Chains A and B, each alone.
Chain A
Amino acid sequence: MNTFLPVENGDTLKSLQGFFKTLLESKTVEALLLPMRTPAGTISPALVVDPSALASADPLAPIMTVNTATLAGKLSVKKPRPKVGVVLRSCEARALIELTKMQQANLADLVIISIDCAGTVSVPDYVSMNGAGVNLWQELFQQAAASPENPANNIRQACKICEQPVYSPRPETDISIQLFGYNIHQQIGVTLPDGLAGNLGFQAAEPSLERAGTVEKLVALRIAARDEEFAAIRLRLEDKQNGSTSGLQSVFAACIRCHNCMNVCPICYCKTCVFKSHIFDHEPDQYVKWAHAKGAFRMPSDTMLFHLTRLNHMVLSCVGCGTCTEACPSELPVGTVFRAIGQKVQETFEYMPGRSVEEQLPLITFKADEWTEVGE
């Protein structure tokens, strides 16, 4: 059901906090996982059970410190499962759908509360704003709606090329908080399951007439920006610079194999990743043997193997949240490379990560009669 939340005195955040309070007080959920303003002034996801604590809730702050899908997985993968509402940006909700298919999350007792996202800034940028970021989201939304062709300079690269700023909720179960297409100083759009809307006493209301147009315009511009970015990175991937034998080697030449990209990736869920195992620890003379084979041996070793293996293991489910790029100390365009390659592989399997929980992961299913030219 479509409805809206009235906003009093232009305080959009307070109206949202009130809505979350209703969800806790009505016992719709036992707890809410959502971005909270910490006493020190930063933002962090937190699990809230006390409605009065929601005065610090700030899902509008334009910052994504971690992809919350991983945390939602922790709250739902094992029984007993508490009933938890999770407030997620589109990329986080899509990652949660993928984790569910990988049996690392369970949606039975989770309520996805998706919220429109105009983009986020990097954690250091947000911190350096030192509180000035509080109202940045309003600017981002206004800019995204009024002049989407000029994305704010400080939003993350992954957000500038994000063509899915709005998550498509499952109407039977999900709640969706809609900001695009609404005058957010007056009202916020909400869709929620009919039964829940009835319980909470919401009246059906017509959705914003401008919403579809606003989103469509933004998405078209983001797609254009994405395609431009992908074309640029593909040129670099084809170009074998500095004597490298592959484009990936020249783009990732400065990788120090710290595993940060993997650690923050919502899709890389393995508890015992092969790259953290002793498989890569060898007898001292083995390293020297390898050095003899090629004249020299890069250490730490296997940076290319790491990226190529990670591509094989997770790129079909890459939702493009860009946390990998944020985490890279060498400032490599990890997310853009993975998305650009991922797009091709996803197209091959006609798969779109996060689209539907019913859609099977491509590598666990098959058809008897396909790609007959690959296996002869």
Chain B
Amino acid sequence: MSDQNFEPKIIAFLCNWCTYTGADLAGTSRLQYPPNVRIIRLMCSGAVDPIYVMKADLQGADGILIGGCHPGDCHYQEGNYKARRRVVAMKEILKNAGFDEDRIWLRWISASEGSRFAETIHEMTEAMREKGPNPLKEEWAV
């Protein structure tokens, strides 16, 4: 289903302390990455309520990235560990409800990993391009 003209839209929920700062570093370092990502900053990956992710998916986002600090580095000690459990539950629910859970990615990217952020966006954009558009994009009756 790959269509080279299709530009995936990725919604990224990034934690203030690590991944958002990492994205900032990618920018100040003049690193190139695809413009397919729309970033929403939260204080912690542990603050990502599943409702935000479900809303983005049902509205037709092609990919949803949740970015947090590496395990052990959470500014609030354990927010990212709890985020991980929530993502595990979320994916299991989506899979069993007949949705595509592989559009949701959880990645740990620190404030110093600007290049890792750029690489992740490259990787995810290509993976979602390969998948093709989220079919929910066209569906009005959700």
Chain A residues near B (Cβ < 8 Å) = 234, 237-240, 244-249, 253, 274, 291, 293-298, 302-305, 308-309, 311-313, 315-316, 340-341, 344-345, 348-349, 362-364, 366-368, 370-371, 374-376
Contact = CB atoms under 8 A, between A and B. Distances in A.
B87 A375 contact: yes
19 contacts: A249-B141, A249-B142, A293-B60, A294-B60, A302-B55, A308-B94, A308-B97, A309-B50, A309-B51, A340-B96, A341-B96, A349-B88, A363-B89, A366-B82, A366-B85, A368-B71, A371-B85, A374-B87, A375-B108
Please report whether the interface of chain A is mostly helix, strand, loop or mixed according to DSSP: helix
Nearest to A304: B142
Nearest to B82: A366
Contacts of B71: 368, 375
Interface string B84-126: 1111111111101111000000111000000000000000000
B89 A348 contact: yes
Nearest to A340: B96
B54 A305 contact: yes
Interface of B: 50-51, 54-55, 58-60, 68, 71-72, 78, 80-94, 96-99, 106-108, 135-142
B140 A297 contact: yes
Contact of A237 (B78, B98, B139): B98
Closest 5 CB pairs of A and B: A247-B98, A312-B50, A366-B81, A296-B140, A248-B97
Contacts of A341: 93, 96-97
Contacts of B93: 308, 311-312, 315, 341, 345
A272 B83 CA distance: 23
A374 B90 CA distance: 11
A89 to B, nearest CB: 27
A374 B88 contact: yes
Most buried by A among B55, B58, B138: B58
Given A237-B98, A245-B136, A363-B85, A305 B78 contact: no
A367 B83 CA distance: 12
A176 B50 CA distance: 39
A1 to B, nearest CB: 40
Contacts of A295: 140
Contacts of B96: 234, 237, 340-341, 344-345
Most buried by B among A249, A303, A344: A249
A368 B72 contact: yes
Given A294-B139, A344-B92, A248 B99 contact: yes
Given A247-B97, A371-B84, A298 B90 contact: no
Given A249-B141, A362-B85, A363-B82, A312 B97 contact: no
B81 A312 contact: no
A139 to B, nearest CB: 36
A308 B58 contact: yes
A366 B78 contact: yes
A240 B136 CA distance: 12
A83 B136 CA distance: 52
A374 B99 CA distance: 17
A291 B142 CA distance: 12
Contacts of A364: 82
A267 B14 CA distance: 30
A189 to B, nearest CB: 39
Contacts of A240: 98
A257 to B, nearest CB: 11
A370 B71 CA distance: 10
A308 B139 CA distance: 16
Contact of B58 (A305, A363, A375): A305
A349 B85 CA distance: 9
A375 B68 contact: yes
B98 A294 contact: no
A375 B107 contact: yes
Nearest to B137: A294
A375 B142 contact: no
A134 to B, nearest CB: 41
Contacts of A345: 89, 92-93, 96
Nearest to B142: A304
A376 B58 contact: no
A227 to B, nearest CB: 15
Contact of A244 (B88, B94, B139): B139
Contacts of A363: 82, 85-86, 89
Contact of B140 (A274, A294, A313): A294
Contacts of B54: 304-305, 308-309, 312
